[in-house]
Every structure is written in structure tokens, then in C-alpha cells.
Structure 1
Amino acid sequence: MGYYLKQLDREKFSLFLDHAAELSGRSRFSLLSDILKSVFMYNVSILEYFQFRFFELSKQERERWAGMGQMYEYQLKMNPRNSRHILDNKTLFYKHYGDFFIHQVADVEDLENNPELAESILSNPSGKLVFKVSDGKCGAQVKIMNCEGFDRQGLVTFMKENNFGLVEEFIEQHPEMNRLSPSAVNTVRVITQLDDRGEVDILGCRLRISVNSSVDNMAAGNLAAPIDETTGRVSGPAVYSDITKPEQEFHPVTNVKIPGFQVPFWDEVLAMVHEAALAHPQNRSIGWDVVVTDKGPGLIEGNHDWCKLLWQLPVKKGLKSQLMNYVKQ
């Protein structure tokens, strides 16, 4: 509870509390009492109480949701601290999984030792660069700039002065993904799980959709929708993590219909994440962020602490039972 209170976005909490009181007809005192009980009974955070809509659910329904505490314990078991560092650090991820990238990436050492790589990144077709800190989360600490005005040494100096671990060419996403939302690169999140035989299972596939934002993360106010694993088609409306906002059948800016939207190169997406999941099997449960271009899919990053909101909210149900078999293995 102390951790949840320390991390609590109080402005969002107040907004959610008022909204839940209005929807449920319950007093704020009643909801606060229920939140306190739920944190301890179901191992969820304070905001998750609202995002999982516990104020509308029975005890049996609440038990189906995997909250922050549950996920922390699960992901620590699946991805131990002594092996998850290659996922936690963007520079290390690039070093270990670079074969799955479809775009050019470099750290400072690469730029200093390989002038040709620096020139190639600076002359990439988009004319833009993406700078990232090595330990950035949820789209934070990302800066997009034009290539114009940079040379190799200027690039190195800028990265050192601003503590950027990586520079990447700006990815030009597939025209269909751009038609859906052009404000950011819209990525696919595929969550893989290795079973006790070392075989790859898929826990879920989601499409992250930007809404007038330069990133596509739900935490930044964007949408997410479920994807049918078999077909690669979006199988339902998109949702926000903000409970005051309604689900969307159509993109609120481009008006493209979301259910039925086909993710391009779907077979290739699945084949790639299956191969990536086996590359370093000491990490058994990973949320892969995949970009789709007109040349095919590529990895952006892998997450050992993949988001339980992105996993569960788009399908509007708790998925904790999916994890239980792997805990027993």
C-alpha cells in the first residue's frame, strides 16, 4: 500500500473516483473502503481498482484480474534479475536482438568506430532521427529531430551531452498503419511465454494506436485494441486506460474503422517473435513491440515487465488464469 500511495497520480485518482461514484451510485467513502480492501485481497494498485472496473464487479470476477503485485511476482519468476538486464536496457537489447531490427540503430561507440554507419543513419529516407535514453520507459525520454544540421561528430556530441544511449533512423511505417494513425509509429505488442518444454506460447496480441501523439503507449493517453492471433485482424474496439473515455470503433482523428483492421505481414510478425523468444530463453515471458513497414516487421524492444493493462483492458476481462499453468512449471 505504501508503494502504491507513493506512485499514485493523485489528479487521476480524484478524476477516477468521481467518475466511479457517478457510474456506480456509491458514496466516495464506500469506494475508498472498497479500494483499501481490494489492494490487499486482490494484489492490485489503487488506479487498477478503477481501470479494472472493480466498482462494478463481483468478488469472483475481481479474482480473474492480474494486478501490479501479481504481475511483479510473476515476471520476476519468469525473467530473473540476473538475466532481464538485456531487456531493461535499450542499448543492450539492440546488441542482443539487432538481427531482428529492420531499421538502423547505433550507440555512441558504434558512431565513433563506424563512420559509414553514422553517414547511413544521417541520410536515412525519413530525414529524421530518434534519440532514446537506455533505460527509458513507456515512451518517455524520446526525442525526434531532423537529420539536417548534424554530422557524425555533432551526433556523438549531442548524444553525450544529453545522455542519449541510442540514435535510430525514424521508421516509416507501413502505409496501412499510417492510414490508421500517422501521428506516431503504431506498434504491435505480442506477448510470448516459454513453457516447461521450451516451446513458445502466445499470451496475447494487441495493437497500440496513437491519437495525436508522437508515441503510441497507453500510458501517454493512446488507444489499444485486441488482435486475433490467427488472422492478424483487430477483433474489437480500442480502449483507453482512462476510464472516463469511451471505447472507440473508429479512430477519433482519421475515422478509420478499428475492428476488422488487418495488420500487414501478420505471418511474418508471428514467425519473428517466435524466433526472438527462443534467442535468450533465460527470459521466459516477454512483451515484444513490433513495427510493421512496407518491407516487413522488425523489433523495437522487448519488455520483461510487459503491461498488464495493455494485456487485459482491450479484451475487457481478467486473464490471470492464463498465468497459473506457467507458475506451476
Structure 2
Amino acid sequence: MHPVMTAGLRFIGAGYCLVKADWPKTLRFARESRTLSRRGGARALVGSILAPFRYGTSPEEYFLFGFYDKLHAERKRWVGTVGMWLAQRRFVPATIRGDFADKTRFTERYRELMDGSARFHTATDDPEPLLEALRAAGHDIFIKPADGQCGSGASVLSAEELRQDGRGALARATAGGGTYIVERRLTNHPNLQRISPDALSTIRVVTAVTTAGEIEFLFARARFSNGKVVDNLGSGGLAVPVDLDSGVISGPAIASASLIDRTFERHPKTGETFQGKAIPMWDAVLDLAKRSALRQTEARVIGWDIAVTPDGPLLLEGNHNWGKVLWQMPVGEGMAQELERIKVRVLA
């Protein structure tokens, strides 16, 4: 790409970071940073505003990555929103990006690797045919917006709610408008359920299709709910690093809701330890990620969200924007150099 075009895109990306910034959260982070470093507070807030242009990070990422207490050279080792956006738009062509951004399209393309129970519903649809099918199935259901991100707008309806006031419950769950995916609520494998019983825990496995057409596993993370119906970091969940070879959790959990007390050796609610526990059926998890990647090899790098149920792993989603925070924070290490190595392996 021509350097002038790259510079222009970086400027656009930096502006996007400022427009989309969560300023109440950023201000809270600035206040918290004052208790953690003498370079925190107002000075750090100014740094976070300049960070999109200097480092390609959003104001929130400036604090999450601990830039307020890092020197310039250390900050350059981390990848922010802008750098990931520039890379990921090359990893996945625009012509197929919608297959991952739109969950209805993704579900249709990858359905046989998934649970298979998903149905689509909008607020203008007659709910009775759907409710009749859901009541007959007798399951609790999970509902999420087809264009949702980070668990936003997701909810759970019990089989009892569907029986007693299905029309009203469904209307409330889909009040945000647009298309929703309605599917059977899956349950964790017992080994994962002991750690976090409130929601389905998911494994993010990121794969790359190399220029030689081979599938590489880049990294894996596991996510656990912290009392909500979703496990996403952005919705208050916890994330841990997972060793690719063994499937064993290799470090404590991290959270991104606060800068203070954000590392957890044990789950805050169940008291279960994280490090050293094995993700069940790990070989099958990797096999599912590989089969998913082979479905559409034009998508060079994708983050696959996989659930490990009592009956085995199931694919949930594929993400073309697979997460700079989830990649770097659980290991406390910037991945800018690793991103450059990935580009060499996957881009012709």
C-alpha cells in the first residue's frame, strides 16, 4: 500500500478512535491511574487523547495497556485499534467481511459446524410460529442481535418464561430493533461449569491461512462470565491465556472493567483457580477451528469462538476483528512484532 494512503488511513482510524471513545470510562480510568502511578491522572488523560495519533490506540486502550506507566519504546510494542484495523482489512477481503460481521450470514454459511438450532426474528415478524417451536422444544433460549458486538444486547429467556408470557418476553428481548438470532441456550462441559456457571464459557482460537495454504494456530484464550449472561471482556467477563499445545490455562484471569484489582488467580464468585486447568476436549476444539478455517480460506486470519458442551465443541461465531485487547492483555505483552510476522506468513 502506498505510504500516503497508509498515512491517510491511520489518520482516519485515529479520528474514529476519538469519535467512538467511551469517555466516561476513559475519565474513570484516568482517575484510577492516579492511584497507580505518579504519571497517572490528568497527565495520562492528555496522553490518552493524543494516543490514537501517536500509537494507534484508543483512549481506553491507552489505560488498559498501561501506557501511562510505560516509556515510548514500550508503548510501540503494543497493537491498538488502528494497527489492527489496517491489518485485518488486508486479512479478510471486503467482499466476504460481511459473512463474519453479520451473524445471520455467518450462521447460514457455517450452520453444520454449529448447534443448528438458530432461528432469525425481527420485531415486525409474527412471533407465534417461533414461540410455538420454542415451547415445543422446551429449552431455555439465548437471544443476540445479528450485528451485535461484545455481547451487547444479548439475553436469556427461560422455558418457563416462554410458556407463561412468550410474546411479551420475546418483545422485550428484541426491543432494540433489527434482526435477532434465537437459539437453544447451550451449557458448559462440567469442567468449565465448575469455574463459571452463570453463562456459556467460550474459547477463542485464532487461525491463519498461510500463503502455502496451510492452517496455523496463532493463539487461544478462554473467557468466563463474572455473573452476567455473556462472557465477553467488554461486558465484564474474564479472560485467560491458553497454551496451544496442551489446552491448559497458562495464567491468571484478567478483566478490563477497571484498572484496579483486575487480575484474578481465582474466579471471584466460585473461588475456582484458573491456572493449570485443562480445557476439555482440546484436540477436538482445535480440529473444529481448523475445519472452520478451511471453509473460506480467502479469510486469512479469523478468531473462532467455540463452546465446549457436554456433547463436544460447537462453533459459535467467527470474528474478522478478533480483538487486540483479548490478544495482549491476558499475557501482559505487546504483539506489534508478532502482527508483522503474521502479515509475512499470510499475505502474498
- Does TM, scored on the shorter chain, surpass 0.5? yes
Residue ranges of structure 2 left out of the alignment (5+ in a row):
1-13
Using the TM superposition, give the Cα deviation of residue 133 of structure 1 relative to its aligned residue in structure 2, in angstroms.
Answer: 2.0
Secondary structure in 1 matching 2:303: strand
Aligned residues: 322
Sequence identity of aligned pairs in percent?
A: 33
Matched, 1:209 2:221: no
Of 34, 56, 75, 1:62 maps to 75
Matched, 1:318 2:330: no
Q: Determine the C-alpha separation between the residues in 2 that align with 1:71 and 1:248.
A: 27
Gap change, CA 1:29 and 1:285, over 3 Å in 2: same
Q: Determine the C-alpha separation between the residues in 2 that align with 1:286 and 1:52.
A: 23
Q: Determine the C-alpha separation between the residues in 2 that align with 1:103 and 1:216.
A: 21
Partner of 2:105: 92
Partner of 2:33: 20
CA contact (8 A) 2:190 2:310 kept: yes
Which deviates the most, 203-212 or 96-105? Answer: 96-105
Matched letter for residue 273 of structure 1: A
CA contact (8 A) 1:285 1:304 kept: yes
Partner of 2:145: 133
Matched, 1:46 2:73: no
Matched, 1:219 2:224: no
Matched letter for residue 73 of structure 1: L
Secondary structure in 2 matching 1:214: coil
Q: Determine the C-alpha separation between the residues in 1 that align with 2:65 and 2:137.
A: 43
Deviation readout 1:67-99 (Å, 9 max, x if unpaired): 000001111111122111111111111110011
Gap change, CA 1:18 and 1:298, over 3 Å in 2: same
CA contact (8 A) 2:17 2:81 kept: no
CA contact (8 A) 1:89 1:135 kept: yes
Secondary structure in 1 matching 2:335: coil
Gap change, CA 1:139 and 1:32, over 3 Å in 2: closer
Gap change, CA 1:124 and 1:188, over 3 Å in 2: farther
Secondary structure in 2 matching 1:191: strand
CA contact (8 A) 2:55 2:75 kept: yes
Partner of 1:146: 158
Secondary structure in 2 matching 1:98: helix
Using the TM superposition, give the Cα deviation of residue 154 of structure 1 relative to its aligned residue in structure 2, in angstroms.
Answer: 6.2
Secondary structure in 1 matching 2:340: helix
Matched letter for residue 280 of structure 2: P
Partner of 1:105: 118
CA contact (8 A) 1:192 1:201 kept: yes
Secondary structure in 2 matching 1:84: helix
Matched letter for residue 16 of structure 1: F
Residue ranges of structure 1 left out of the alignment (5+ in a row):
none
Deviation readout 1:240-263 (Å, 9 max, x if unpaired): 113223300010100001101111
Gap change, CA 1:323 and 1:119, over 3 Å in 2: same
CA contact (8 A) 2:189 2:310 kept: yes
Q: Determine the C-alpha separation between the residues in 2 that align with 1:138 and 1:36.
A: 23
Q: Determine the C-alpha separation between the residues in 2 that align with 1:218 and 1:2.
A: 24
Q: Determine the C-alpha separation between the residues in 2 that align with 1:209 and 1:160.
A: 25
Q: Determine the C-alpha separation between the residues in 2 that align with 1:267 and 1:118.
A: 37
Q: Determine the C-alpha separation between the residues in 1 that align with 2:206 and 2:40.
A: 38
Matched, 1:268 2:284: yes
Partner of 1:280: 296
Secondary structure in 1 matching 2:25: helix
Using the TM superposition, give the Cα deviation of residue 37 of structure 1 relative to its aligned residue in structure 2, in angstroms.
Answer: 4.5
CA contact (8 A) 2:15 2:52 kept: no
Partner of 2:206: 191
Partner of 2:4: none
Matched letter for residue 204 of structure 1: F
Q: Determine the C-alpha separation between the residues in 2 that align with 1:37 and 1:8.
A: 13
Matched, 1:72 2:85: yes
